[in-house]
Structure 1
Amino acid sequence: MKPIDVMLVDDHRMVLEGLRVLLEPLEFVAVTGTCTTAAEVLTALQAHVPDVLLLDINLPDQNGVDLCLQLTQAYPTLRVLALTTLNEKSYVTRMMQNGAAGYVLKNASPEELAEAITRVHAGKKYFSDEVQELLLQPTPAAPEIPVLTRREKEVLALIADGLTSHDIAEKLFLSALTVETHRRNIITKFGVSNTASLIKLAAQYQLI
């Protein structure tokens, strides 16, 4: 059976050599190229497209996430397997959205790496155990942005500008008591206890 043609991409040559040493004893894998930058990958693929490409996310000249999309669009038969230290859900989901066939952490055993290569070459997906656990964790719900009336938005903007209730009352032709009522309502809607917290949260919600 023809060995699985594998290309290695990592910006550290010691890592590349280590991967080569791990994979060379495997009869069903043939390492046919190594690259340290995105530019090298793009040049190498013009001459030869492997079956599986092990791709580090941290490259010096281009983000591996963006490069993954570029490669999978240009070479539909290429199976990209992320090999990285980045154990974060956002990276995993973005890599998969960009066409990666799997995601393996660099602390993987040689046996796991071999299995990952075999699985993605067969058209399946592969995730390290730690990555699978990460994907099963619930995504925090997006914060619910308070709904403000037009007048409350005006008052909030002026509070953020540092105006006092008296200044706001004069600017909006309202009574100071009315402004204080709006201020209390806004603070209640945001679930905060003071003006500083209100301004900070409003800025996070991009309301000011």
Structure 2
Amino acid sequence: MKILLADDHFLVLEGLEVLLSTFEFVEKTYSVLNYMELKNSLGKENFDVLLLDIHFGKHDGREIIGALKQRAPQMKIIALTSHSDSATIKSSVNAGFDGYLLKIDSREAIEKALKAVTHGEHYFSPKTQQTFFEMNTSKNNTALTEREKQVLELIVKEKTTKEIAEQLCLAEKTIETHRANIMLKLDVKNIAGMVKKAIMQGLVSV
């Protein structure tokens, strides 16, 4: 099995490479720190699985997964993240990830995930399975909050996460969480779908 690792933190990549080297079924691992390196790697070699950080530098894995699957349709893509909230999980599932792993997951979970996706199955680590179950069985209101509407308005105006955070006096991570919640509530896969649906439903003024 050939594995491609995409994360913008060198120590995370280094740790994963060491871990994967202990799996007998892993033939080769290759690491990339940014989207340009990722695209170049996919153009040079075929990989069985890509472990992709959802917040990959300036790029959102949920936004680029479609283009990656077009480049390598046979490759399985597993989300790799530190986010275990239901909104991020649901939006990642909607985007088309084949699996979902937390950076705190065990060696056993990572091994199971790699084997599962290469056999055509979806894999979610134990903690995310519980979150996903609770999310699907809950009856939370799907209406946008006032803060989410503010964030949505600024996204439609093509403001970056940093610009939105500065304008609303919030942390960038908070804006990312609001964005994930909006995607969950609107049941969309990416920003383009979010903007289109927001305009169609009259949620924002254009």
Instruction: Tell me the TM-score normalized by structure 2.
Output: 0.65
Does 2:132 correspond to 1:135? yes
TM-superposition CA deviations, 1:34-72 (whole Å, max 9, x none): 001112111110111200000111122311111222212
Does 2:40 correspond to 1:37? no
Structure 1: gaps spanning 5 or more residues: 145-204
Match of 1:105 in 2: 102
Alignment partners' CA distance in 2, 1:74 and 1:207: 34
Q: How does 1:115-134 map to 2 (within 5 A)?
A: 115-134=112-131
Does 2:15 correspond to 1:11? no
Structure 1 ranges of 4+ moved more than 3 A: 205-208
**Superposed displacement of residue 142, structure 1:** 2.7
TM-superposition CA deviations, 1:55-93 (whole Å, max 9, x none): 111122311111222212332211001111011222222
8 Å Cα contact 1:38-1:67 kept in structure 2: no
Compare CA radii of gyration and give the structure with the larger one. 1
Identity of matched residues, %: 32
Q: How does 1:42-121 map to 2 (within 5 A)?
A: 42-121=39-118
**Superposed displacement of residue 101, structure 1:** 0.3
RMSD in angstroms over aligned alpha carbons? 2.2
Alignment coverage as a number of residue pairs? 145
Q: 1:23 to 1:32 in 2, by over 3 A?
A: closer
TM-superposition CA deviations, 1:120-149 (whole Å, max 9, x none): 1111000011111111122513349xxxxx
Structure 1 range deviating more: 39-48 or 91-100:
91-100
Alignment partners' CA distance in 2, 1:5 and 1:143: 43
Alignment partners' CA distance in 1, 2:26 and 2:128: 24
Instruction: Tell me the TM-score normalized by structure 1.
Output: 0.64
